[in-house]
Amino acid sequence: MVDNSIRTKLFSPTRLGEIELANRIVMAPLTRSRVNQEGVPNELNVTYYVQRASAGLIISEATNISAQGRGYAMTPGIWTEEQVAGWKKVTDAVHDAGGKIVIQLWHVGRCSHVTLQPNQEAPVAPSAVKADCNVYTYDGPQEASMPRALKTDEIAKIIEQYKHAAECARRAGFDGIEIHSANNYLLEQFLRDSTNHRTDQYGGSIENRARLILEIVETVTRVWSSGQIGIRLSPVSTEVGNTPLDSNVMATYGYLIQQLNKFRLAYLHFVEGTTGKDRTVPENVDLDALRSLFDGAYIGNNNYDLEMAVSRHTEGKVDAVAFGRPFISNPDLVERLRYDIELADVTNDAYYGNGAKGYIDWPKANSL
C-alpha cells in the first residue's frame, strides 16, 4: 500500500516543456495495428484514445513518417492529407475530453519487409545488416527483409521526411511530437556501432553516429517549438531485431543526451531496460546517471507499477511515468491507480489487429 500523501504527488499537475499535464501519468506509445492499408486513423481510433484521455499525456502509437518508414501492416501514417484528417478527428476528440496528445514519429529502418515498401524495394538502414526479427505483413508474420545501406546523399531525404511529418502533425492538431529514437528502429540503428558500419560522416565516431538524430531534431525545431518536442531512447534494449548493444553505452548515449540539451526539448523518455520485458541493465551501465545529464523533464518507462512510480518520483528520478500495457486493458488507469482499484489483465492476443475486440471494449471500473 502506497501512502496517500506521497501518492498524491503523482497525480499533481506538471509541465513537460511547454506542454501542461493534469497529472504525471503518461500513456506510452502502443502499436495496436487497427487502421486501414492507407494508414488512416478511423472512428475506432478516436474512441480508443478518448477513453484514455484522463492520462496527463498520451503519446500516440508509433506513426510512420513516410511509406518507406513503414515496417508493420495496419499501422498509421502522418504524411498524407487523408492521414492528417484522420488524426485531426482523434486530437479534436481528445482535447474535447480534456486530454493532451503528442504523436510519435517513426521510421523503422531495417525492421521491415519488401511487401510493405514502395515498389517492393528493400528496406533502408545505415548499413546492410539484417534484422533478426519477424514483422507483421498483410500475409502474416514474415522474416524481416535484407536492407540496403542508405547512400550519403539519400540521408537528406530522410531528414525531409521527418520535417514533412512534423508539419503534418501540426495541421493534425497534436500538442507536440516525440521523435522515436528507440527500440532499434532507424535512428537507433544509426546511433549504435553494432548496426552502423558506415565510413562516411554518419558512421564511425560517436559524433558521426549521433549526427542524424541531431540533424533531425534541429530540423523539426523549425516546425515546432522545442518545448513541444520530446525524444525516446532505449540505451540497453535489444528489441527489436535482437540488436546488440552499442560497444560503449555510457559514452554514446551520454554524448547524445548532452548534445540534445542544446535544443531545450520538452522531455527525454527512456525505456529503462529491455522494451516490453525486464528492467535488467548491464553492470557497466547506469541509466540514472545518463538521465542526470539531461537538463529537462524525464519520463521513465518499462514495467512500472504504482509503488515504483511513486518511489522514483519521490526520489527525484522521474518527472512523469509512462505506462504501456496497463493502458490497453484499463482505459481509466489514472483513476484506478489513484484509488487503488484492481487492474484488469490483458493477454497478447488482444494487442494487435482484432478490430473493436480487445481494443475499445474494456470497461471502466465504475462500469464493472
Query: Active-site residue numbers?
Result: 185
Per residue, what are the HEC states of the chain?
A: CCCHHHHHHHHCCEEECCEEECCCEEECCCCCCCCCCCCCCCHHHHHHHHHCCCCCEEEEEEEECCCCCCCCCCCCECCCHHHHHHHHHHHHHHHHCCCCEEEEEECCCCCCCHHHCHHHCCCEECCCCCCCCEEEECCEEEECCCCEECCHHHHHHHHHHHHHHHHHHHHCCCCCEEEEECCCCHHHHHHCCCCCCCCCCCCCCHHHHCHHHHHHHHHHCCCCCHHHEEEEECCCCCCCCCCCCCCCHHHHHHHHHHHHHHHCCCEEEEECCCCCCCCCCCCCCCHHHHHHCCCCEEEEECCCCHHHHHHHHHCCCCCEEEECHHHHHCCCHHHHHHCCCCCCCCCHHHCCCCCCCCCCCCCCHHHC
Would you say 26 and 304 are in contact if contact means Cβ atoms under 8 Å apart? Answer: no
* Cα→Cα distances 74→23, 27, 46, 77, 192, Å: 31, 21, 16, 9, 28
Residue 298, all three cell numbers = 524525464
C-alpha 56/C-alpha 115 separation (Å) is: 38
Strand 177-181 to strand 101-106: parallel, antiparallel, or no bridges (unpaired)?
parallel
| 301 phi, psi to nearest 5 deg | -150, 145
Burial of 178 (0-12, 13-18, 19+ CB in 10 A): buried
